[in-house]
Structure 1
């Protein structure tokens, strides 16, 4: 590791990686933003901020090994079950400060192939890279295509009656992508001196029902939500899945509908870094981006 080398941010063709790279550059840090596939609009924005852009496939471990001695710290934005081997190689190569991403669901969901792989990857980082930080964010949102609240906003704008699954009482604590990027940049640059597993969520915890109501206001549409019992839906989805047909929700996702999803054992975040974008503000901004 070179103490004067740049910070490497992998996955900069996606909003989270790009925002982390921009945050580090705004702090006066030298940054190399890497990605497998170009994103012309983001690439131009990064170059305008003085950020170097380079191709990198994190599964190409010899390439990762060659880069390790050249960088001061790394942020690997692909989920840890994918980036874990690269994190191991960077650490072996002398990178003592790194940030990787897991999921708050690891602490919520029981035995499950997806989260079992994440748990194993977390353990490897904890064992092999003691100076690294593992961020466990709650639901990430704030950009088109975030996979969660973007879909919800579009559905609320389209459907006069929205089918709300489950009791609606389960807690939600979505974290805006800008807040998460700021935390990751602070960790790798030692503005936030913390290591190990760090569960983080947004500044406000809502029930599932209240989150839908907040999204409805943000979308500007007056739809109503109708509660749908989970039992019959689970039976139908299981039957259809067994026939090999694809549905918007899987049986595993349905099993998590009524689980509380606020940050489990949340990290102690310094006051100047605490997430500040509320669901009301963040969803209103997202609705504008979606042109709803």
Structure 2
């Protein structure tokens, strides 16, 4: 009888049931790691069970606002990944509570457990950001690195892939509206990065391939304006729509109104975030703190979007988009 002399590493993934988290869990299970998914509602992590072998993926209830649940989720883990973040505030889910104090709670729990830590942040994290989202992301990074000096911070640009909340949202809008809005004229620059590439970077951090105490910035092969992103998306789904420029003052006014909805389409904080370009910095490029520097091939939106935006085409999956 063959005996297993060493158990595979146990990785706790906070936010593992979400969009990015699902791909991170898949990248980890393919490497043979055991994965503990820590999330507020474990019933929403059932889809992760099929990503690994029997017993390889286990969901546990945890809430970043409840320190005891964080400690329990981290107990016995070799590596911890924190992917929890929110795009807008609602109820008790506040930017400070989740992205700042929550990040510190995870870091302190990981330090107490003797586990390594990878913290998922975002390009746009800046203590001087006009956006509360951006400021709390930066405060969370600061809290993490204060708690664990060799923690790894990963900042992606806007992430795309199946179930993303960017291209899917606008492609769905294009089905019903004759025009799409371009906030601030659509001049804001993005560097869309494929979710699978982001997941690979997180998995390599667990492998030990990323340098501790370092902030990595992940972007795709193209830098595109908001307008160019919409044009590319419309071409792929084969629909013609007007692109209407919405000046910043009008966008702020609309955001104040839409922000009062239970699930707002746009908030004032998001408008402030859109005022700043969301691209990999020259400093990160020069230091090799990018996907290219890690040797991870970058997937373009032109290669990936057609694989999941086809439901938004006028005549279905097997029709070629035409203009």
SS at structure 1 position matched to 2:277: coil
Question: What residue is the counterpart of 1:87 in the other structure?
Answer: 107
User: Is the CA contact (8 Å cut-off) linking 1:237 and 1:251 kept in structure 2?
Assistant: yes
Mapping of 1:68-147 within 5 angstroms? 68=74, 70-79=76-85, 80-81=99-100, 82-95=102-115, 97-107=116-126, 110-144=129-163, 146-147=164-165
SS at structure 1 position matched to 2:236: helix
SS at structure 2 position matched to 1:135: strand
TM-score, with normalisation over the residues of structure 2? 0.77
SS at structure 2 position matched to 1:234: helix
TM-score, with normalisation over the residues of structure 1? 0.84
Does residue 52 of structure 1 match 2:57? Answer: yes
5+ residue gaps, structure 2, are 1-5, 86-98, 317-323
User: Is the CA contact (8 Å cut-off) linking 1:137 and 1:200 kept in structure 2?
Assistant: yes
C-alpha distance in structure 1 between counterparts of 2:189 and 2:312, whole Å: 25
Does residue 34 of structure 1 match 2:35? Answer: no
Return the offset for 1:73. Answer: 0.7
Question: What residue is the counterpart of 2:271 in the other structure?
Answer: 254
269, 285, 289: which one aligns with 2:307: 285
C-alpha distance in structure 1 between counterparts of 2:127 and 2:231, whole Å: 24
C-alpha distance in structure 1 between counterparts of 2:258 and 2:12, whole Å: 41
C-alpha distance in structure 2 between counterparts of 1:271 and 1:92, whole Å: 32
How many correspondences in the alignment?
A: 287
**What do the CA deviations read for 1:164-201 (whole angstroms, capped 9, x no partner)?**
23233321111121111111111122133353322211
**What do the CA deviations read for 1:241-270 (whole angstroms, capped 9, x no partner)?**
79x677632233233434311123432445
Return the offset for 1:5. Answer: 4.1
C-alpha distance in structure 1 between counterparts of 2:258 and 2:162, whole Å: 30
User: Is the CA contact (8 Å cut-off) linking 1:168 and 1:258 kept in structure 2?
Assistant: no
User: Is the CA contact (8 Å cut-off) linking 1:22 and 1:49 kept in structure 2?
Assistant: no
C-alpha distance in structure 1 between counterparts of 2:180 and 2:236, whole Å: 15
User: Is the CA contact (8 Å cut-off) linking 1:192 and 1:270 kept in structure 2?
Assistant: no
Question: What residue is the counterpart of 2:181 in the other structure?
Answer: 163
**What do the CA deviations read for 1:14-50 (whole angstroms, capped 9, x no partner)?**
2322221221221232333333322365133134475
C-alpha distance in structure 2 between counterparts of 1:90 and 1:285, whole Å: 37
Question: What is the aligned-residue RMSD (CA, Å)?
Answer: 3.0
5+ residue gaps, structure 1, are none
Question: What residue is the counterpart of 2:192 in the other structure?
Answer: 174
Structure 1 window deviating more from structure 2 (176-185 vs 151-160): it is 151-160
**Higher RCO (Cα < 8 Å, 6 or more apart):** 1
